[in-house]
Amino acid sequence: MPVPASPSPDLAAFVAHVAAEGRALYRDLPWRRTRDPYAVLLSEVMLQQTQVSRVLPRYEEWLADFPTLDALAAAPLEAVLRAWQGLGYNRRAIALKRTAEEVAATHGATLPADDAALRALPGIGPATAAGVLAFAFEQPSVYLETNVRTVFLHELFADLDAVPDREIVPLVKEAVAEAARQGISSRDWYYALLDYGAHLKRTVPNPSRRSAHHARQSTFEGSHRQRRARLLRAVIARPGRTTDDYALDLTDIERETGRAPASEGEVLGVLESLAHEGFLVQSDGIWFVA
């Protein structure tokens, strides 16, 4: 059944209220002290499905290792994946490196200030592109991520469930325009939404559960994803070994945690899938980082 449209909100009052909440709840985060498009992109990618507290130390460590897109493009993939360990979803690191390589080759090592051009780069979707446009270039993009969605659901869809993004996106677009009319830059407006949304998640039953797109993340402990992550870490730590060697490594880890060990066939399947996705390569039965 389609969700009924919410009543037309008083956007001027909504924007003024959220802006005031944002000022009171403002978080001074390192990626907010720069307009470097690469540094902004890095923060957007790192923060996908990863808590701010985990990203904070890793963000500055990464920029120390790879201070520019050119530096990231030139770095070995093994070094990039090693630097990413602990942030989850390693494919994001590969996509970030591929983006750096493409931008270095075709855009003069500068991220484009254009939505379509950004979204054509590896791993950059609508929200990431909108974040770069808003925070690096101060363009009034339509930036919809989990904390932003939380605010709109809490304030404008309080009595509705299963709200689809198609109901929210037009309001996001109208609100950023209204913020500009009130003298609030897109950058500051979205910071206010992010900080107020993070506050709401800590203090009220999570409104994002009323989104039609809400999905509970599967348990990581003991999962296939965890085995993938452990095997990739094993190859990064000790490349140039056989499937049997990595199966033994994983067996030792899983015995220590009280779980049944993976079979050699399962380990081979995971290693082959990692190779298919561009993480690893195999030569004469020996595994290396791609």
The model's pLDDT over 95-112, given as tens digits with 9 standing for 90+, comes to: 999 999 999 999 888 999
Mean pLDDT of 71-84: 95
pLDDT attached to residue 81: 93
CATH code for the domain in which residue 284 is found: 1.10.10.10
CATH code for the domain in which residue 79 is found: 1.10.340.30
The CA radius of gyration of the chain, in Å to the nearest whole number, is: 21
Mean pLDDT of 168-192: 96
52 and 108 part of one domain: yes
Q: Give pLDDT tens digits for 191-242.
A: 999 999 999 999 987 676 666 565 554 454 556 677 888 888 888 888 888 8
Mean pLDDT of 169-197: 97
Does 3 reside within a domain?
no
15 and 152 part of one domain: yes
pLDDT attached to residue 247: 84
The range of the structural domain enclosing residue 149 comes to 11-27+140-210
To the query of whether residue 44 is one of the catalytic residues in this protein, the response is yes
pLDDT attached to residue 218: 47
Does 216 reside within a domain?
no
pLDDT attached to residue 26: 98
pLDDT attached to residue 212: 58
Distance CA 80, CA 100 (A): 12
Long-range contacts of 239-245 (CB under 8 A, 24+ apart): 239/78, 239/287, 239/288, 239/289, 240/286, 240/287, 240/288, 241/286, 241/287, 242/285, 242/286, 242/287, 243/267, 243/268, 243/271, 243/285, 243/287
120 and 51 part of one domain: yes
130 and 256 part of one domain: no
pLDDT attached to residue 2: 41
Among the three residues 100, 122, 137, which one is the final residue of a domain in this structure? 137
Among the three residues 92, 112, 137, which one is the final residue of a domain in this structure? 137
270 band by pLDDT with thresholds 50, 70 and 90: confident
Does 193 reside within a domain?
yes
Does 4 reside within a domain?
no
The total domain count for the chain is 3
Does 69 reside within a domain?
yes
Does 219 reside within a domain?
no
Among the three residues 100, 115, 137, which one is the final residue of a domain in this structure? 137
Catalytic residue among 21, 44, 145, 167: 44
183 and 236 part of one domain: no
